[in-house]
Chains A and B, each alone.
Chain A
Amino acid sequence: MRGHGFLIANYVRGDSVIHRTPLWLKFLVVVACGTASFLIVDWAVSLAIFAVMCGLFLLSGAGVRRLLRAIWMVAPILLVIGLFQWWQLGGPTAARIVVNILVCVVAASVLTATTPVQDLLDGVVSLAKPFRRLGADPERFALTIAVMLRSIPFIAGAFSDVRDSARARGLERNPRALVLPVFITTVAYARQTGDALAARGLGEAEEIPEKS
């Protein structure tokens, strides 16, 4: 399978201010950006926040190329959304929605580019600890995030491969030739991943020592 693009940036080693910022604060910024996307009504404000998030990304030292790549990966989807919203609700609203999505993508990229995945998973485990009282296993929450991070680029790569295969057979205009193989590949991948995790003993409920 070909190399996969990813919607959000992978971890980049560094010692910037952003790298040293506590995980909870970075996480709060991501949550705040997501919440703000529902509340902001002026596209100029969205654009200003987008500029700030881009500035934070660059401050982390992750580089312009990674930033552009993260944006480029969502560009086709944003184009479709933007055109549709323009047609339905007009230019300013379309611009606000598109820029708000970009804010979320860049904010998530700042988090993932400056936080090692294991630290991210440890953070998820800490956040999920209260659910232990309800019988949930916090490690499973972390594993779910890990699998999600891994699955998105896989599906993107599967789509690229299938599109190339369809082109080679002159079927690029046939949606069934694109969608069905991706669907089947994804289901097979899910099963393989499940087997691989089970084989490594990951995802099994943690043994809680009995109280004496």
Chain B
Amino acid sequence: MNLISFSRVSVRVVVDGRDAPKTLLHDFSLELSERRIGVIGANGSGKSTLLRLLNGLVEPSAGTVTVGGADTVTDVRRVRGNVGFVFTDPLSQLVMPTGREDVELSLRRSVKNSKERAARAESVLDRFGLLHLADQSIYELSGGERQLLALAAVLAVNPGVLVLDEPSTLLDLRNRELLRRTLAGLDQQVIMSTHDLDLALDMDRVLVVESGRIVFDGGAAEGVALYRALCAASLGELPHESAPR
């Protein structure tokens, strides 16, 4: 497994109309080496920012992030070759009109020969049980099929680390289960943010993020229990009149 290291990292952004920058993630240090790592927390807590640090989509305002020894700012090319990223909405990730073409696009950098590229794409799609959908428009696929396709396109280049930002949010129960099984069978180190607490319970280690701070780092069961307690506490603070009827 790759060693992922966050050293004194914080992320701040300038927001229009505010004098001081807004802090998305407060100063923290972490080392991650487990095979399955979950990140849970409320919307806007900083989960996505934390994940985006991992392949340089967000640069830290202070501190350093390294993946397998490569700095995500100064060595971003190497990092992106090693860290695959799957977004919540596969439609924003799939660039080409069909699955086959999208997987081939992923392979363009690494496989220059077009016949070899086509064969590799076919093999990747076959591995994920998507070969029969390879030539269909991405708009004709179900949400689960699209998400699997996005996953296949990312895994086509065989990254060492797979980062998934709420991959099951748009999926129904069946597709969620399908995704869960697929993820369980991967060799890659997986780091995933999710609101699906069943999925979070499958993880070896869970981080709970609350208002830009990592408030828990430990086992999945304890992390999920703490997150439930935090949610319950925040609901308790709401006046009953404001609750939806």
Q: Tell me the A residues contacting B by CB distance below 8 Å.
A: 1, 3-4, 6, 10-11, 13, 116-119, 121-122, 139, 142, 146-147, 149-150, 153, 157, 189, 192-193, 195-202, 204, 206-207
User: What is the bound-complex CA distance between A189 and B92, given in angstroms?
Assistant: 7
Docked-complex contact A150 and B80, CB < 8 angstroms: no
Docked-complex contact B96 and A117, CB < 8 angstroms: yes
Residue numbers in A under 8 Å from B85 (CB-CB): 199-200
Tell me if B241 is interfacial: C-beta within 8 Å of chain A: no
Docked-complex contact A204 and B77, CB < 8 angstroms: yes
Number of residues on chain B facing chain A (CB within 8 A): 33
Residue numbers in B under 8 Å from A117 (CB-CB): 96-97, 101
Tell me if B126 is interfacial: C-beta within 8 Å of chain A: no
Least distance between A111 CB and chain B CB atoms (Å): 15
CB-nearest residue of chain B to A116: B101
Q: Tell me the B residues contacting A by CB distance below 8 Å.
A: 55-57, 77, 80-81, 84-85, 87, 89, 91-93, 95-98, 101, 104-106, 108-109, 114, 117-118, 135, 137, 139-140, 153-154, 157
A-B contact pairs, 13 of them (CB 8 A): A3-B140, A10-B97, A117-B101, A118-B104, A118-B114, A146-B96, A192-B87, A195-B57, A195-B92, A198-B80, A199-B84, A200-B85, A202-B105
A202-B105, A206-B109 given; name 7 further pairs at CB < 8 Å.
A3-B139, A117-B101, A192-B93, A196-B92, A198-B56, A200-B80, A200-B157
User: What is the bound-complex CA distance between A193 and B95, given in angstroms?
Assistant: 8
Residue numbers in A under 8 Å from B98 (CB-CB): 10-11
CB-nearest residue of chain A to B135: A13
CB-nearest residue of chain A to B87: A196
